[in-house]
Structure 1
Amino acid sequence: MTTIRDVAKDAGVSAATVSRVVNGLLGYSEETRQRVEEAVLRLNYETDFMARGLKTRQTSVIGLLAPMVSDALASEVMRGVEEAAREHGYAVMLGRTGSQSVFIDGYLRTLRTYRAAGVILISAVITQEMRQLLGPNIPVISVAISDRSGPPSVSIDDERAAYDATRHLLSLGHQRIGLLAGDPTSIYVAHPRQRGYERAMSEAGRTPVVAHGTFFYDSGAPGLDDLLRQEPNLTAVFAVSDEMAAAVVNELQERGRRVPDDVSVLGFDNTSTSQHVHPPLSTVAQPLEDMGKTAVNKILRARDLGPRIMPHSIISRGSTSPPHQ
């Protein structure tokens, strides 16, 4: 059986360099990369995976990267991606990269080296740098992000969903509704959701009350503090992620306020988090699993890679009710 040392000897490099090339890391020249890949092919190294990819220009692998997203949301998308990939005989390589570009770049180089069939990004913008790292032959598509500027994507209409959510709270009789918005630098998720809320409030003749979080649980309590400083008599909070909404519910109860009797709370995403809090969260449902399946199918069909808008819905549970007088 061919080993990494055999490849290194044939290519005239160290085993460490072969490892770096195979895993898409930095620290070698283009000429070295070509020599290593030729040696991999010549010696039939890892025939079932790497060498087949060098011969056919594609392997049965789909990359799924989650740069900065909650585990609950990522797992919903991944469930759909894995199911659709498995149906077509593909495996999924998951990368939890955080926000650090060096880790994202490393995964992208690895996926390019292994000739992935495509790459799916969860709630992340496709950049020109990403396309350059992947090369021209590997399609990339984003999921759960409202980038309508042309890159391939599968999402809901975030602005419309937030508008409908705010209208739902207004229809229950709430007039003092605070928005716990997302990271203000998130122009493709936080911004459209805030626009939808503000449009609904404006149409109802109500004053918007907005605080910003990070989409994650830890920002829920500070965000609630900010909202209550602006409007102590809020009767409803709309948080643009289930994690922040769950934190708001817990924090309100810690302060002796009843949910929903004193303050209603509405989340966003309909992840497992929404049902792991008491009372269970009312929320905006994204069809995250179906979005993952759709992304896989679009990649494997290699056509119709433009934006695809999926339907959303409002799910009413125990965390919302008409305001109590």
Structure 2
Amino acid sequence: MVTIRDVARYAGVSPATVSRVVNGLTGYSTSTQLRVEEAVLALNYEPDSLARGLKTKQSAVIGVLAPLVSDALASEIMSGVESAARSRGYSVMLGRTGLGSEHAAGYLRTLRTYRAAGVILISAAITADMRRALGSAIPLVSVAIRDGLRFPSLAIDDERAAYDGTRYLIGLGHRHIGLLAGDPQSVLVNTVRERGYLRAMAEAGLPAVLEQGNSLYDSAPPALGRLLRRDPLLTAVFALSDEMAAAVVNDLQRLGRRVPEDVSVLGFDNTRTARHVHPALSTIAQPLEKMGELAVERLLAGTDLRPRILPHRLVERGSTTQVPPG
């Protein structure tokens, strides 16, 4: 029988680190997490959380499939998931998107072997191959994305949220508003948010200027450069993640543009990133930790299959202002 020490030896880490990764705790790097996950899959390791499952046909494990642990949105949702799971006697096993469908399918097959109580998808779409790997008996709940899903979901009205954010900037007097979107191929919700921006701009009779990043910090400066070349008169940028918005603020300052005096910047999500940039970001807030808590509740209840729309709100901070007259 494979033990935690075997997994630790295979991954080149301590047994304590294996325990932290398997139970969804913190205190390890992304590369360490990847090595442990690969060792678990390669050795078919079954942790102690399976003990209950041998009798009940269901283990005390909840799987979570999410972007990289460095992703601010996923990290804050995970805080809610972990808190709610532990209070109910469940451990969390984290898998990551962005490493290819084969890796995700392997992770889901492992959850099936573990007899997981269910799987929570954070800002991630599930392919047919992934669903087959998981099987039909294990329930799914999706968080922060809802379009086209056939299982329970918890999300804000993303189109309305982007519409409201754009209308807010228009209300401040901005007429040249660029949108910095995420990659629609990686997160379907980006396309939904784009629709909200485009609708608000069309209703106001304003030209839409849109460029795509990938929702992460490093993708924003090149996309901002393209926006400014397309419309040198931009007075506002609406970035569809706080990480991209923070990068926009820093890059505008590098270019000698003052935020918000020359260019207002609006983010999306209200993650910790929004509070740690200067000036602090105005942003569209999602109830991220609450989403994680509710996902665990719905997963374990297993009775309500309807999508649930949660409220969003505008948080005004120092990165946006009225357009000066004249």
Same fold (TM over 0.5): yes
TM bucket (normalised to shorter chain) is 0.7 to 0.9
Shift of 1:69: 7.7
**Bigger radius of gyration among the two:** 1
- Using the alignment, how far apart are the partners of 2:229 and 2:80 within structure 1? 41
Q: 1:227 to 1:69 in 2, by over 3 A?
A: farther
Match of 2:314, as an amino acid?
A: I
Name the aligned partner's letter for residue 121 of structure 2: L
Aligned equivalent of 1:291: 291
Whole-Å separation in 2 of the counterparts to 1:278 and 1:154: 31
Amino acid paired to 1:188:
L
User: Structure 2 matches for 1:17-36, cutoff 5 A?
Assistant: 23-24=40-41
State the partner residue of 1:171.
171
TM-score by length of 1: 0.84
Q: 1:84 maps to what in 2? A: 84
What amino acid is the match of 1:229?
R
- 3-state SS, counterpart of residue 267 of structure 2: strand
Secondary structure of the 1:54 match is helix
Deviations 1:183-222 (A, max 9, x none): 1325621111111001001111101011111111111101
Q: 1:155 is matched with which residue?
A: 155
**Is the contact made by 1:158 and 1:193 (CA closer than 8 Å) also made in structure 2?**
yes
RMSD: 2.3
1:109 Cα shift?
1.4
**Residue identity in the other structure for 1:95:** G
1:64 and 2:64 equivalent?
A: yes
Establish whether residue 126 from structure 1 lines up as the match of residue 126 from structure 2.
yes
Once the two structures are TM-superposed, the CA of residue 99 in structure 1 deviates from its matched residue by 3.5
CA distance in 1, matches of 2:2, 2:186: 43
Match of 1:221 in 2: 221
Instruction: Tell me how far apart the structure 2 counterparts of residues 294 and 120 of structure 1 sit (CA, whole Å).
Output: 11
Return 169-178 or 53-62, whichever deviates more.
Answer: 53-62
The one-letter code matched in structure 1 to 2:287 is: P
AA aligned to 2:50 is: M
SS in 1 for 2:180: strand
TM-aligned CA distance change 1:4 to 1:265, over 3 Å: closer
Kindly state the Cα deviation for residue 149 of structure 1 after the two structures are TM-superposed. 4.2
Q: 1:149 & 1:176 partners in 2: Cα distance? A: 35
Cα distance, 1:102 vs structure 2: 2.2
| Residue of structure 1 in register with 2:270 after alignment | 270
SS of residue in 2 equivalent to 1:295: helix
Cα pair distance change 1:55/1:25, threshold 3 Å: farther
Q: 2:291 and 2:318 mapped to 1: Cα distance?
A: 27
The alpha-carbon deviation at position 87 of structure 1 amounts to 1.8
1:249 aligns with 2:249: yes
The count of residues paired between Structure 1 and Structure 2 equals 291
Taking a change above 3 Å as real, the CA distance of residues 173 and 228 of structure 1, as seen in their structure-2 partners, is same
CA distance in structure 1 between the partners assigned to 2:275 and 2:76 by the alignment: 14
Q: Percent identity?
A: 63
For residue 306 of structure 1, give the secondary structure of its aligned residue in structure 2. coil
User: What is the Cα deviation at residue 70 of structure 1?
Assistant: 5.2
